[in-house]
Amino acid sequence: MLSTRCVAASLTRNPGERPTVSFSDLPALSTAALWAVTFLIALVSGLIPFVLNIELYLLAVAALTKASPVAIVALTTAGQMLAKFILYLVGRGALNWKWIRRGAASKAAEAFAKHPASGITVVAVSAVTGFPPFYGVSLMAGTLRFPLVAFLTVGTIGRVLRFGAVYLLPSLFHLSR
């Protein structure tokens, strides 16, 4: 259980003893802890999606806890959009990463620059479906100087729809309540 054993082990940090947390520990979390963990996992998975999968986490929370769908989806969306905002800023040049600037010279970047209306469609589809990956779309939106307010608005709406659907998926399999 996460509540006592893992917290105590992480506080004492005994050499050779590594606390582990699994999805089965989710029901043991307090509401505030679950909310904090949800936001942090969403933020980290938004920045390094190949390490953490937010959809699997949401499915586990939905299946194993009685958490408020509104709160969990809102916190997940907030964490993810903060990550995508950071990626947008990276694409915009806030961090001087040369590989980002080379990507701006690609044919795709030129096509979106010529047709700005298609940019909103790409952001919306990516935010809801994950194709093309929203990670790359966030970087490209910053690189192309896509309007920040439009990016955040469309991205947030798309992420709410995506995470809401994922969170409600396990309820389809509950035959009796």
Residue 48: burial class (beta carbons within 10 Å; 0-12, 13-18, 19+): exposed
pLDDT for the residue 172: 83
Q: For the residues of 62-88, what is the DSSP string, one character each? A: HHH----HHHHHHHHHHHHHHHHHHHH
State if pTM tops 0.85.
no
Residue 48: pLDDT band by 50, 70, 90 thresholds? very high
Mean pLDDT, rounded, of the chain:
81
pLDDT for the residue 122: 94
Q: Are 91 and 140 in contact (CB under 8 A)?
A: yes
Residue 15: pLDDT band by 50, 70, 90 thresholds? low
Domain ranges of the chain: 2-173
The residue length of the chain stands at: 177
